[in-house]
Structure 1
Amino acid sequence: MRQDREGEVQVANAVFMFPGVGSHYSGMGKYFFDNFQVARETFEEASETLGFDMATLCLDKSHKAELDQLQHAQTALVTVSVATYRVFQQEIGLKPDAMLGYSLGEYSALCCAGAFGLSDALRLVKARGEIVSEHAASVDGTMAWVTNLAPAAVEEICANVSEMGEPVYVSAYDTPLKTSISGTQAAIRLAGDLVVKQGGIAIPIKMSGPFHSPIMQPAADRFLNLLQETQMRVPSVPVIANRNALPYGTSETVADNLYQQLVHPVRWLDSLRYLLEAGLTTAVEIGPKNVLQYLLQAVAPDVLSCTYDKEKDVRKSERMLVVQQEDYPHIIAQCLAVVAGTRNHNRDGADYERRVVNPFRHVQNAWEERNASGLATSQADVQEALQMMQTALEAKRVRQEERERHLRDVLGRKLLKIQA
């Protein structure tokens, strides 16, 4: 049973996902700003850092055009995502085993994992937005989404078009049948025609540049100095890098990955596959909209996932992620069933009687008495049943991985908050 210092029991293998540009919208973060002091303090910190009112930019719909400007969209998304994360930890408290963010969202993930503070994140993101916007405006480039084609087919199309003298590159690998491409305007048109001929769909991305491609190298070089001047720390939680779909290592890799991110494709699909191989069971999208939840479901529909954005999402997430009182009877029944149905490998009869039989009978008798009398099941009853199951499985010589799997299944992949 995994229990942290606050007395919470939770399952492992939870990941937090932070969205990138395109997920922003006017009014984002309003529920958190209106209802949680920690969110308002986050908005205030952002306003002090950037020198303008972040709440007005995000919440006032008359500022939508300003919000849609890349440099403002980026700082606003980081602000709202970090505010959302802080509210989530205050209200739910589920600790992630890993984090990742899509493009700009990688800054939110790194900030929440402690690689740098919010002020540094905002200063970097503001400069990043200005630099890439200026460079994008100086080149004849754009992007497009490609669906219904495998990545290898899209790579081949890009290679063929580039050989014609119009550079185009895969700029994001999202799902097995969804990528994005970046290149010159002419290259995107040529590539789009080939995509359609092969049965795919090409959708131009408006108001964009050739992001996450070698065309952005001059912008990346300008941005590198700012990255190197910023104090970076090793993330306290593993953060999966867009560039190579692997966890950040040393503090030096933080700046390097963020530099390389500007000219390399977002390897979102590979990042998800890495986490799935590591045992990912639960994913929470922290921030506006549910784009990343949608991408995850296209890759791994069985992973428990939710988004944490609006009030309805907050209520749904709490029910999905935290054990509710109505779950208590089922958890105890499952604990008893697991112990009764698990094979014993312990040949020490006295030890088996002491650590399996007696605790099992105690929990079973109490369970039957409550059912017969109509008494409500308490959290203490649940804790006792969980402890009985873990002790009994250990006594039966059940492997740790299997014990953890049983705990995960019994709790329904939820967090059990222990009340003082």
Structure 2
Amino acid sequence: MVKRALLFPGQGSQYVGMGKDLFVKYPIAKETFHEANDAMNVDLTRLMFEGGITELTRTEYAQPAILAVGMAMFRIYKEVVGSDINYMAGHSLGEITALTCAGSIPFASAIRIVHRRGELMREAATIGGGAMAAVHELDISEVESICTSVSATHKGGSEIVVVSNINSENQVVISGHKGALSEATERLTKRGGVVIPLQVSAPFHSPLMAPAAEQFAEELNKYTFSPLQYPVLSSVTAKLYASSDEITKVLTEQLTAPVQWVAVLQYLRENGVAEAVELGPRTVLKKLAQNTTGMKMFAFDDGSDAEQLLSNSKIAKEEYPLDFIIQCVSIATCTRNRNWDSEAYAHGVITPYRNVQTMIYQLQQSGGQVTWSNMEQAYKMLLSVLRTKLIPEVEQLSRLERLLAEYSLQDKFAQGLPVGVLNS
């Protein structure tokens, strides 16, 4: 089986009209965009579909819009292509999209989180004094060396410039005080580099973002994150998240630390990933990876790529048994409850159980085909019920393994048992 990763782009990929075709063609996309509207209490779809670009580009709107498109594409991908996903990763903002698609952050919460992240970044930009620039045609180590030298000497070391994004072998981004960045630009140009100023007024992914990072940590501390259902690579560390407990720390650090995109792609290549799919507006990550990864790249926002992904999908042609969903309900019903916390029981048992019952009724009434999304909803309901009822781990594993073996689904749910079940 070919190993595949899903990649999610960051800010700057937005454009007027993004997601509109998905909204028209796929009910799950329309539902996703409506969820985003409700979470923000803003008509985000109007901004996405009609613009103008100046308003859409405002960071507090661009970030939730990009996340919403990424989530819509992910849901379509899962429903039509299937769940053979080995890794997820995102570039800066895209890391939050990856964590959301991996099930660790509820979608509505993620929309609110990135909206606040955007506000904090905008506030940092209004303070002024910072700038960013893209550097081409120079080795990364040479760019880092010049930045270090400038930071040590410019205005007596009181101003800094640092590498903020390592995007490809041929492109890095630098951030810092305007004066220090200007001096670094002169030195880099003399060494043969091509330096292009970016139209931003704040030094993102640099130590100068520390005040915004501190406030963002306070925002993240308001939320509880669930276990990851898929392995997610951090663009800060280029390592897998060990657990959702790391989310607040890593996402806070992300505002002040460089994006290690080259290292992320190297990790994927070294771990056998042969194909990667970009889920989000435009084809930014596909272009960055073309000459460096050795992986086959698809971008869902590229019409020919999307058509190839969807038309070649074997999973899309499979039929799934309604009996599996009914069996999930049966197991959830017959297991003994050991948890007398009524609030936890309502959230972890009653709500997901009723949602699956409603789904079964609708499928039976309509005669509709069971989709992979239906299968996953039922299975996630069962996991939630078993955890909430405090079923012993050995019994949980025994029931789940028997269920998956009965329907030959061991390799469909993230190699049998989703990440986090063993830690329930």
Q: What TM-score, normalized to structure 2?
A: 0.71
Which residue, out of 90, 106, 122, partners 2:95?
106
Partner residue in 2 for 1:81: 70
Work out whether 1:270 is the aligned partner of 2:259.
no
Paired with 2:205 and 2:291, the residues of 1 have a C-alpha distance of 22
Q: Does structure 2 conserve the Cα–Cα contact (< 8 Å) formed by 1:143 and 1:188?
A: yes
Partner residue in 2 for 1:150: 139
Work out whether 1:13 is the aligned partner of 2:3.
yes
After TM superposition, give the deviation of residue 299 of structure 1 in Å. Answer: 1.0
Paired with 1:308 and 1:179, the residues of 2 have a C-alpha distance of 25
Work out whether 1:309 is the aligned partner of 2:301.
yes
2:229 is paired with a residue whose SS is coil
Work out whether 1:253 is the aligned partner of 2:243.
no
Partner residue in 2 for 1:299: 292
After TM superposition, give the deviation of residue 270 of structure 1 in Å. Answer: 0.7
Q: Percent identity?
A: 36
Partner residue in 2 for 1:35: 25
Partner residue in 2 for 1:240: 233
The aligned amino acid for 2:140 is P
2:232 is paired with a residue whose SS is coil
Partner residue in 2 for 1:287: 280
Partner residue in 2 for 1:403: none
Partner residue in 1 for 2:149: 160
Unaligned runs of 5+ in 2: 318-424
Partner residue in 2 for 1:169: 162
Q: Does structure 1 conserve the Cα–Cα contact (< 8 Å) formed by 2:125 and 2:200?
A: no
Work out whether 1:133 is the aligned partner of 2:149.
no
Note the alpha carbon deviations across 1:148-175, whole angstroms, 9 max, x for none.
1111101111011111233101001111
1:95 is paired with a residue whose SS is coil
After TM superposition, give the deviation of residue 310 of structure 1 in Å. Answer: 4.9
1:169 is paired with a residue whose SS is strand
Paired with 1:240 and 1:208, the residues of 2 have a C-alpha distance of 29
The aligned amino acid for 1:34 is V
- Structure 1 runs of 4+ with >6 Å offset: none
Aligned pair count reads 313
Paired with 2:168 and 2:316, the residues of 1 have a C-alpha distance of 34
Partner residue in 2 for 1:51: 41
The RMSD of aligned alpha carbons is 1.7
After TM superposition, give the deviation of residue 305 of structure 1 in Å. Answer: 1.2
After TM superposition, give the deviation of residue 12 of structure 1 in Å. Answer: 3.9
Note the alpha carbon deviations across 1:218-271, whole angstroms, 9 max, x for none.
100011111111111232111100111000112210111101100100001111
After TM superposition, give the deviation of residue 311 of structure 1 in Å. Answer: 3.9
The aligned amino acid for 2:276 is A
- How has the CA–CA distance of structure 1 residues 48 and 145 changed in structure 2, closer, same or farther, with 3 Å as cutoff? same
1:142 is paired with a residue whose SS is strand
Paired with 1:87 and 1:157, the residues of 2 have a C-alpha distance of 45
Partner residue in 1 for 2:199: 206
Paired with 1:12 and 1:91, the residues of 2 have a C-alpha distance of 17
2:291 is paired with a residue whose SS is helix
More deviation, 161-170/41-50: 161-170
2:221 is paired with a residue whose SS is helix
Partner residue in 2 for 1:336: none
Q: Does structure 1 conserve the Cα–Cα contact (< 8 Å) formed by 2:60 and 2:118?
A: yes
Note the alpha carbon deviations across 1:371-414, whole angstroms, 9 max, x for none.
xxxxxxxxxxxxxxxxxxxxxxxxxxxxxxxxxxxxxxxxxxxx
Work out whether 1:116 is the aligned partner of 2:105.
yes
Partner residue in 2 for 1:225: 218
Q: Does structure 1 conserve the Cα–Cα contact (< 8 Å) formed by 2:4 and 2:275?
A: yes
Paired with 1:316 and 1:185, the residues of 2 have a C-alpha distance of 45
After TM superposition, give the deviation of residue 324 of structure 1 in Å. Answer: 11
Paired with 1:53 and 1:235, the residues of 2 have a C-alpha distance of 30
